[in-house]
Structure 1
Amino acid sequence: MEPSQHALTREETERCVDEIQPVPLDQYGSDLWFQQHILAERLNNRAHYSVQHQVEEFVGDLLAERGKLAVLAANLIRIGAWKAHVWPKLDPAVLQQAHIKAYFLLFHEATLMNLLEIVLFHQPHVLALGPVLPDLIDYCATRVAWLNTAEATAARAPQEVPPAASPAQLAAPSDPAADLQAHRTQLQFTIAMTSISVLRYITECGEALPLGAQQRLFGHHDVPAAAIYLIHNAPWIRRRVSTDAKAASPAPGRREATLERFNEGRWEALAHDDVPRLGKTEAQVWLLLYNLLLEPAFQTRYPFTAFRVRHVMSLSDVFTATLRDQLPVIERLERYVAQVAILH
């Protein structure tokens, strides 16, 4: 299948890859940063096009061969640090005046993460990260742990529109500063969910994963524990409660609850029959946990404590026949949990 007129050709992709370069922290918002953002967007679009149309995926290969994957990962880590430490100190008046550029500054991190999620599916690309790999694990593990916090729970709460809002209220111009904060929260949640997939692809490397990277997974961060908390907390599911304003007075409006699942960066309403089915993110968490606990090269990296034994055994409460049918690795994971209960 030939690329569409909107997708980069291989030659165009090569030129984009060659132009990728590090962006110092003091250059965020500059012309250099904007050029790098456009390059990342174009490469991300091409990588997604290749996957969606099942054509040759050469973006990751070119980035790995030319040493640019590590550059992109380092830029991702820097923009994450910039958002955490610089963004809160920016003058709100400046943000309101330049809110479009500010939005792109926020969105840049999600673009880089989205691109890495695609290209790191392949093990050679993960290993091509070299010395940056442990830092990328730190970046992802921190965001996965954040998903288990009250702040993340609040971030995924649906924004309800009051049923009594008038057309004039709905059409009124919004506050740019409030919009930016809402975008920041939404993107933070999306990036954290994407971090699950990236960690799963990293753990697919097994014994090929450098010892320093393994230490970040099991020592510096307890990623298995974070993954188990995710299984129990299910941040990819939320309940939206809507009020039926047409209910007869004086009876209060009827409140109807709809379950929604986070998928591909947005929340989608779930039909009743779809509730038991695994979503993409939930499946990634199970596969990540399977790799962390059952990969032979990793098992000596995770010594069991009393807390870890109890935490792993808590998975017994969530194993179901429906889950086993959808994800074959669940049976092996279930046997492993039973073995932990016997041996510890």
Structure 2
Amino acid sequence: MAAMTSDILLPTEIEHFIENLCPSTMEELGSKKFVSELWLEKHGRFQKLNQQAVLEANKMKDEFVKNTFILFEKIPVIIYEAICTMLWSKNVLPEILKIEPVPKNSFVACSILYHEATAVGLLEAILYHEESCEALGDSVIDLIDYCMNSVTYCISREKVMMDNPAGDIGKGEDYLIHEQNRLKFDNGIRSIVILRCLGEYLDSLPLSAASRIFETNDLPLVFVELVENPPWYAKDKDGNIRLYKVVNYLFGKLGIFMLQRYLHDELLDQLSPLVELQRWLSHLAVSQPPVISRPVILEVVPEREIVLFKYRIHLNAIDSMEPSGIDHRID
């Protein structure tokens, strides 16, 4: 039994779950029949895989979950699950709450929200290793965009927390929105870790990944903002929220130079790898920017845009739904 070995899943169960893992569809998330049966079973398997992956990483055991995802080339499916459920929570859930502000049963909606968090947690656990990042393939573009969206939410979270103060959650719509915002913040913090892993193994990723990170999303300046205004500060005992100044990015070198104030001697003694960063910043201050050549790169269309295009008619039709159709079907 798995319990006798302190594992959550047996190796045979892990192989079976991952080999038969298929991407969710909006039909599954929008159909009462699918959500209550097939999809909830998939969600349960997903949670067990995440728990097993975290257990293996914490105990420094052979990471069988990670290796099996690589073997069956299923890591892109995890990314798709995160994107699909994110789009549902962003585009479908608000319309459902307009139809029925106080749902009789919020279990299904919460399960879908937690499914996204489970997918992000699983990615955080298995992408710590270079071979996992290599197995991403073209799906790394979707992962970068997803993580950047989540990190941006964390940076601007003060408004969200002001709108949803603790102790005033309520029921129905208030509860679901509170859970959605809380999980989005957790996903954003985990996304920072994922982006760190992608940056470390950038040489092993497709060429389009570097373009997406530095040109499309300008990740270094986003990380500077995280250092300047860390979003993980908690509220004090009185419930007061620290408000950060809204400062526009200082694009280019000036933005990067904001890191220099943190590179003092005491920190450099404790974290010696930062010495290289300090030297690079000093070199950047006196050097001229090189002429950037634009190589011909076939850009990969993000999966998020494909899903939105596929279901654009269904999403627009939700506004006309009657409250009696709250089983949320997409025909």
TM-score, normalising length: structure 2: 0.75
- Separation in 2 of the partners of 1:126 and 1:221? 19
Question: 1:77: which partner in 2?
Answer: 83
Determine helix, strand or coil for the equivalent of 2:23: coil
Distance 1:174 1:161, change over 3 A: closer
2:73 pairs with one of 48, 53, 67? 67
Question: 1:307: which partner in 2?
Answer: 251
- Separation in 2 of the partners of 1:3 and 1:215? 48
- Separation in 1 of the partners of 2:167 and 2:130? 45
- Separation in 1 of the partners of 2:188 and 2:204? 25
**Residues 1:226 and 2:231 aligned together:** no
Question: 2:145: which partner in 1?
Answer: 138
Distance 1:238 1:156, change over 3 A: farther
Deviation at 1:156, TM superposition (A): 5.1
Question: 1:254: which partner in 2?
Answer: none
Question: 1:153: which partner in 2?
Answer: 158
Deviation at 1:324, TM superposition (A): 2.3
Greater RCO between the two (CA within 8 Å, min separation 6)?
2
Once superposed, what is the RMSD of the aligned Cα atoms?
2.7
Give CA deviations for 1:83-131 in whole Å, capped at 9, x if unaligned: 1111111135276212122111111100000001001111111121212
Deviation at 1:160, TM superposition (A): 5.2
AA in 2 matched with 1:48: V
The answer to whether the 8 Å contact 1:44/1:114 transfers is: yes
Question: 1:108: which partner in 2?
Answer: 115
- Separation in 1 of the partners of 2:236 and 2:19? 46
Q: Could you tell which deviates more after superposition, 37-46 or 89-98?
A: 89-98
Determine helix, strand or coil for the equivalent of 2:234: strand
- Separation in 2 of the partners of 1:196 and 1:53? 23
1:340 pairs with one of 279, 284, 308? 284
Deviation at 1:206, TM superposition (A): 2.8
The answer to whether the 8 Å contact 1:69/1:129 transfers is: yes
TM-score, normalising length: structure 1: 0.73
- Separation in 2 of the partners of 1:184 and 1:232? 26
Determine helix, strand or coil for the equivalent of 1:81: helix
AA in 2 matched with 1:318: Y
The answer to whether the 8 Å contact 1:313/1:338 transfers is: no
Give CA deviations for 1:217-274 in whole Å, capped at 9, x if unaligned: 011111111111111001112341429xxxxxxxxxxxxx899xxxxxxxxxxxxxxx
Distance 1:314 1:57, change over 3 A: same
Question: 1:205: which partner in 2?
Answer: 201
- Separation in 2 of the partners of 1:212 and 1:174? 45
**Residues 1:179 and 2:186 aligned together:** no
Question: 2:9: which partner in 1?
Answer: 8
- Separation in 2 of the partners of 1:3 and 1:326? 42
Determine helix, strand or coil for the equivalent of 1:97: coil
AA in 2 matched with 1:213: A
Aligned residue pair count: 274
Deviation at 1:155, TM superposition (A): 3.8
Question: 2:310: which partner in 1?
Answer: none
Distance 1:155 1:94, change over 3 A: closer
Higher strand share: 1
**Residues 1:91 and 2:87 aligned together:** no
Unaligned runs of 5+ in 2: 243-249, 289-331
Distance 1:242 1:337, change over 3 A: same
- Separation in 2 of the partners of 1:144 and 1:15? 33
